[in-house]
Amino acid sequence: MNSMVFHPGLILIATGFIAAIVPKSIRKFVLAGGPLVALAAMFSLSYGAEWIVPFINGIDLHVVQVDRLNWVFGLIFSMMAAIGGIYSMHNKSWMEALASMCYAGGALGVTLCGDWMTLIFFWELMAASSLFLIWCNNTAKSRKAGFRYLLVHMFGGNMLLAGIFLKVSAGEMMVSSLAAGPHDLAFWLILIGVAVNAAIPPIHGWLVDAYPEGTITGSVFLSSFTTKVAVYCLIRIFAGTEFLMWVGVIMALYGACFAIIENDMRRLLAYHIVSQVGFMVAGVGIGTDLALNGATAHAFSHILYKSLLFMCAGAVIYATGIRKINHLGGLAKKMPFVFVCFVIAAFSISGIPLFNGFISKSITITAAMEAGFPAIELLLQLASVGTFLSITMKMIYFIFLREGKDVEIKNEIPKNMYVAMGIGAALCTVYGIFPDLLYRFLPFAMEYHPFTVDHIVQYIQLLCVAMVPFMMYLSHMEPHEQLTLDTDWLYRKPFVALVLSISSLVCATRAALGGFFRWIYDAFNELMANPMQFLCQEPRTMEGTGDVPDKYNPDSYRTAIGEPMVIIMAVFLVAVAFIAFA
């Protein structure tokens, strides 16, 4: 069905451009209203809706092609754009408004499209626009982190583009599953390109490097789109690729372990993006209908609670100017609303019953058990313990409950930030209590009930056990001051040294060649200024002075008149004699 549709992604992009050019007093209404229009447009799209645009050489671009899978992702992306728009209403930066809306619009463009060419266009739009959410922070660290972010995403985008080029060259225009094979070059190139955006180790360091350096409002958008768009692509293209199951488990454990020792609030939360996306990647690898529903549901829930965590962390930074956990404490009394919202988000990400993380995370763990992977089930549960330790216990205690830290509230939090946090907290709770509000929209049919006695008891036991080591080693749980480098050490240290060494070599070579060619140039100019030097002729001294002229003067090399006259007369006499006796 090729019908006239209102593309929610294009609406968001238009919102960004409008917000960039209107006066500041109007911009806040554009940022709040535009995403709501996009959300309404998303609800207007029905399953099977299409928008096909003729391109070149008889190629059609399937800009919109809706099914159950991309509709639910489109829904949460539109909802998040609306929440993020409200959270950033106070923002006076036109560039950040443009970048955030184009970023969200690009995410919807990737999600709703049906062909490879449209996918790569919106994919690159996401990368380019999200970069400015980092650079808009306008600090030395954000500029460096943004540059590293740019390099990594150029690599990932080029890998994806190369794989798409192979597919399109073979006449395969439509996005389709590649899991069944063949695992050819195009398969691996596309997988690497998507894996970069999914922050799959060891190519995940860009996330924990860049997201903490973004603007306060920009980081909320960053936490919501790039990795989840990648999860959508993994479900669409690589569902059932079994080795991804183990990759996901590694991600879940890896991110949780690094988060436990991290001190920077947003860097800690960024590690938990890696960890939580690991649950989704594991579901993609398992590949059953239940597992893919779990990956989809967890992506949906993750966007809500992770954005809420970043909003609360941003509110703390906005109010206090402090990012480090060990410098904070006692904020529950000074910022009670932020505290309540943070607790809801922390309970959600930890999978505590009656919050949305529980109704999605448990699907993937159950799917692993039903598919016959008990080790996967056990390791994912262990990762949940790490999440509970680092966020619910560590962040809540050291930021909000610990006494003895006299933290000054320097700035009053804007009301729109409170509204956005309230909406996020309400949605985390509502979906946790009424899971069918989400389950009814999942892409595959399933029969699953999260609120069984076994599920609830199992999670309560795990979380209670996790509290024991935290309370026993509370004095050692406060994070250290130093920056913990991850795989980004490779391009922060040796790669930088390599680039500097090559740059120094190139500069030295350039200087040497420049000196050599300068010498040739000067020598050539000197010879051209006095061409008689080619004949090894020495200039005559100037009459009456005995000085040799500084500059070339042909008169200085001209011989006396008698010499050429003698030569001419001699030649003349020889010629006459030759004629006479011939």
Q: Which residues contact 172 (CB under 8 A, 6 or more apart)?
A: 116
Q: Do 350 and 284 reside in the same domain of the chain? A: yes
Residue 195 has a pLDDT of: 96
- 282, part of any domain: yes
3-class DSSP assignment, residue 2? strand
Measure the CA angle with vertex 376, ends 370 and 379; round to 5°. 135
Residue 198 has a pLDDT of: 96
Neighbours of 330 (CB within 10 A): 16
C-alpha distance from residue 430 to each of 28, 87, 125, 309, 434 (Å):
27, 20, 33, 17, 6
Judge whether residue 243 has pLDDT over 80. yes
Judge whether residue 52 has pLDDT over 70. yes
Judge whether residue 21 has pLDDT over 70. yes
Single residue among 183, 217, 251 that ends a domain in this structure: 217
Residue 56 has a pLDDT of: 83
Say how many domains are in the chain.
4
Place of tokens 């700035």: 411
Q: Do 441 and 500 reside in the same domain of the chain? A: no
**580 — pLDDT class (breaks 50, 70, 90):** confident
Instruction: Read off the pLDDT of each residue in 35-48 and give the average, rounded to a whole number.
Output: 95
- 223, part of any domain: no
Distance CA 197, CA 203 (A): 9
Judge whether residue 538 has pLDDT over 90. no
Judge whether residue 63 has pLDDT over 90. yes
Q: Do 387 and 514 reside in the same domain of the chain? A: no
- 463, part of any domain: yes
Judge whether residue 513 has pLDDT over 60. yes
Distance CA 268, CA 234 (A): 25
Segment 399-445, tens digit of pLDDT: 999 887 788 999 999 999 999 999 999 999 999 999 999 999 999 99
Residue 563 has a pLDDT of: 66
- Give yes or no for a contact between 122 and 113, defined as CB atoms under 8 angstroms apart: yes
Q: Do 399 and 411 reside in the same domain of the chain? A: yes
Q: Do 207 and 328 reside in the same domain of the chain? A: no
Single residue among 492, 508, 540 that ends a domain in this structure: 492
Residue 473 has a pLDDT of: 66
Judge whether residue 449 has pLDDT over 80. yes
Residue 373 has a pLDDT of: 94
Residue 553 has a pLDDT of: 60
- Give yes or no for a contact between 228 and 151, defined as CB atoms under 8 angstroms apart: no
Q: Do 332 and 187 reside in the same domain of the chain? A: no
Residue 85: closest CA among 71, 69, 98, 72:
98
Pull the structure tokens for residue 26.
Answer: 């109007």
Distance CA 488, CA 199 (A): 12
Q: Do 201 and 245 reside in the same domain of the chain? A: no
Pull the structure tokens for residue 552.
Answer: 């070339």
Q: Do 149 and 192 reside in the same domain of the chain? A: yes
Residue 543 has a pLDDT of: 53
Distance CA 309, CA 269 (A): 8
Distance CA 274, CA 199 (A): 6
From first CA to last CA, the distance across the chain in angstroms is: 109
Residue 567 has a pLDDT of: 79
- 446, part of any domain: yes
Distance CA 345, CA 343 (A): 5
452: left (phi over 0), alpha (psi -120 to 50) or beta: beta
Q: Which domain holds residue 501?
A: 496-521
- 145, part of any domain: yes
pLDDT exceeding 90 applies to what percent of the chain? 66
Residue 360 has a pLDDT of: 93
Q: Which residues contact 210 (CB under 8 A, 6 or more apart)?
A: 134, 145, 146, 148, 149, 222
DSSP at 211: G
Distance CA 284, CA 239 (A): 5
Segment 142-158, tens digit of pLDDT: 999 999 999 999 999 99
pLDDT exceeding 70 applies to what percent of the chain? 90
Q: Go through the chain and tell me how many residues it has.
A: 582
Average pLDDT, the chain: 89
- 229, part of any domain: no
Q: Do 95 and 159 reside in the same domain of the chain? A: yes
Distance CA 153, CA 173 (A): 23
223 or 501: which leads in pLDDT? 223
Distance CA 378, CA 125 (A): 39
Residue 118 has a pLDDT of: 96
Q: Which long-range contacts (CB under 8 A, 24 or more apart) does 346-349 make?
A: 346/309, 346/391, 346/392, 346/395, 346/396, 347/392, 348/301, 348/304, 348/305, 348/308, 348/428, 348/432, 349/272, 349/276, 349/302, 349/305, 349/306, 349/309, 349/387, 349/391, 349/392
The tally of CA atoms less than 13 A away on the side-chain side of residue 159 is 18
Q: Do 507 and 488 reside in the same domain of the chain? A: no
Residue 459 has a pLDDT of: 79
**541 — pLDDT class (breaks 50, 70, 90):** low
Residue 47 has a pLDDT of: 93
Residue 439 has a pLDDT of: 95
**197 — pLDDT class (breaks 50, 70, 90):** very high
- 25, part of any domain: yes
Residue 261 has a pLDDT of: 85
Segment 279-315, tens digit of pLDDT: 999 999 999 999 999 999 999 999 999 999 999 999 9
Judge whether residue 49 has pLDDT over 80. yes
- 452, part of any domain: yes
Q: Do 167 and 90 reside in the same domain of the chain? A: yes
Q: Do 131 and 87 reside in the same domain of the chain? A: yes
* DSSP assignment string, 518-548: HHHHHHHHHHHH-GGGGGTPPPPPPTTT-PP
